[in-house]
Amino acid sequence: HVAGSDFGGAGYTGPGYWTNIYKTGHLLFNLGLTGSTATSPRVLDALTYMNVHWGDANADPGWRPSYIATIAATKGFTELGIETFNGHDWYDDFADLIVANQWANGHWRGSGFGENTDVRSTCWALLTLLKATSYVPPTVVTKAPESICMNTVTLNGYLTNMGTASSVSVSFQYGTVSGVYPYETSPVATSTVPKAFSADVAGLTKSTTYFFRAKAQGDAIAYGDELSFKTTEYPCTPVDMLPPTIKFPDFAMWSGVSGATGTGVPDKGNPAFTVNRSPFDLQFTVEDDSASSVQWMLSVAGHTVISSDGTGTFIRSLPLFQGRNDVLVTAVDAAGNAASRHLTITLDTHAPVVTLAGTLQSMVTGTTLNIEGTITDEVSGVRSLTIDGTDVVPYLDGTFTASIPLKRGLNTIAVETLDKAGNRDSFTWTLDLTLVPQPRVRRTIDLTIDSTLMVVDGTSVTMDVAPVIREDRTLLPLRALVQELGGSIAWNAKTHQVTVKVRGVTMVLTIGKNTATVNGNSILIDPANSKVVPVIIGGRTFLPLRFIAEQLGLEIGWYPPTRTVTITWEP
């Protein structure tokens, strides 16, 4: 800090000992390390010195052309974040001189401070120019290949340095001509060094020489030396000729499975069994003698529903259709060897259906209910039938009879059914013994929804059309009913009106209208649902059953299992 041409400069042992920009650059670097900034007084003094000697034409005390001086100043300016000072763009000045002074063979030679050797000067010049890129490439070594076979090889490399990058992608380039690499393996990123890496290459040609080199790409790209190898004429491992093995558990031991056959041997046979749920969790095991992946799939009725890969034990949710399901499990290994196993899984989700031979009232004799009917189960078969707590054994054709004692008053009769798939159902009848009429003549009509068969007093009669359900209400074909009741029916095509005269009642109903005239009085057909109206279906008039029954004094019974309507009346 002495006034004069050395003001602000730095020397080795003091401010007056061989002061120059080279040592002042080091001073700036050290000041930055100790906490000074670009505006600190001592930094400003050093910049004053550099400004005084910036244009000096020799290396002492200036920097032209001294590359040890340019790199020392670069370190100081960079540490303090100084891009320009006193109108000097210091890096442009350094770069212009260095580029202009490069020798034809690529080296640099400075004018002082030990720069009398080309290698030393060239290193300092390149270090100065490094600020222009800030990139240092990684360092990679090509290593000898392994597992050389007819069509495959494992290439090896070694990453020793990542340069200025924090992560480097490594790969291999290869080809059949030295120095020409049309193929490259997939890059793999790594952030640690030293790091050995490899890549498995397939699809090679047998008995062919290949050339390869390791490649590392970080902030810049680096390559290892070229090496070569020759593929073999024959495969290194035997050809896989064995198909995968598919095994099933003993489904006979599973809950919810019935009627199982062919399940005793895990890897043989075609199992068959019945279940009462869908989807069904199917378990199977795929094994293979090779370490390669196995592709497998599940098919139902010829349609693939699930496909995947791998070996081991799997459980997959399999959607099933009601009835028989043909299931196929197929497995194919990498060599193309295939295996398949068949299963037959029957899905039964419906309980048995009970159909009575007549009405309950007609089955009562004194204090005994003599029930006759039929029980059917189309899929798995009937396991049991219980009526009022008593087991009833049907005949081979499904018909059954049972005598149930009754008491005076209300009798609730419970019916429970069970099929071989485990499906259960139950329903009850309530019979008031005090209301059961004494033996007298009563007429009965049984009609089944969507069936054209009408049973009149036990005799079957075929109708033109079948009863239907609309708006959650039962609609009956009018003409067939009125004829059996001994009445008459007239149709007015102009007004779309039906006039019914039966059992001393005259009713006029209009198609599509929710009111009717009964003995001259207008009445709502269904107070709870205005959409219940007379309709024409298939050229026949359909009337709401409950309205007709109420107006004519008919009794109605409904049997849910068969959707059968029973109409009874006294003539």
Residue 247 confidence (pLDDT): 94
The whole-number pLDDT of residue 250 equals 92
Q: Order the strands of the 453-456 sheet from edge to edge.
A: 459-462, 453-456, 443-448, 564-569, 555-559
Closest by CA to 349, choosing from 319, 329, 374, 328, is: 319
| pLDDT score recorded for residue 94 | 95
pLDDT at 134: 60
- Its pTM stands at 0.38
**Other CB atoms within 10 Å distance of the CB of residue 94:** 25
How far is residue 306 CA from its own chain's centroid? Answer: 11
Q: What is the pLDDT of residue 38?
A: 95
Contacts of 104 (CB under 8 A, 6+ apart): none
Inter-residue contact 121 to 129 (CB < 8 Å): no
b/e per residue 384-421 (b: at least 16 CB within 10 A): bbebbeeebebeeebebebebebeeeebebebbbbbbb
pLDDT of residue 441: 62
Total number of residues shown for the chain: 571
User: Helix, strand, coil shares of the chain as percentages rounded to 5?
Assistant: 15, 40, 45
Dist CA 417 CA 48 (whole Å): 109
CB-based contact 168:217 (threshold 8 Å): yes
Cβ–Cβ < 8 Å for 228, 213: no
Q: Token digits for 485?
A: 């009741």
- pLDDT, position 99: 93
Distance CA 435, CA 453 (A): 29
10-residue stretch averages of pLDDT, the chain, 571 residues long: 86 81 94 95 96 89 92 94 93 94 91 79 91 78 95 96 92 96 96 94 96 93 95 81 90 89 87 91 89 85 88 91 92 90 92 84 78 90 91 92 86 90 88 66 83 87 86 82 84 89 89 91 88 85 84 84 85 72
Phi-psi group of 299: left, alpha or beta (phi > 0 → left; psi -120 to 50 → alpha; rest → beta): beta
Which segments of 357-439 are extended strands (E)? 364-365, 368-376, 382-387, 390-391, 399-405, 410-419, 424-432
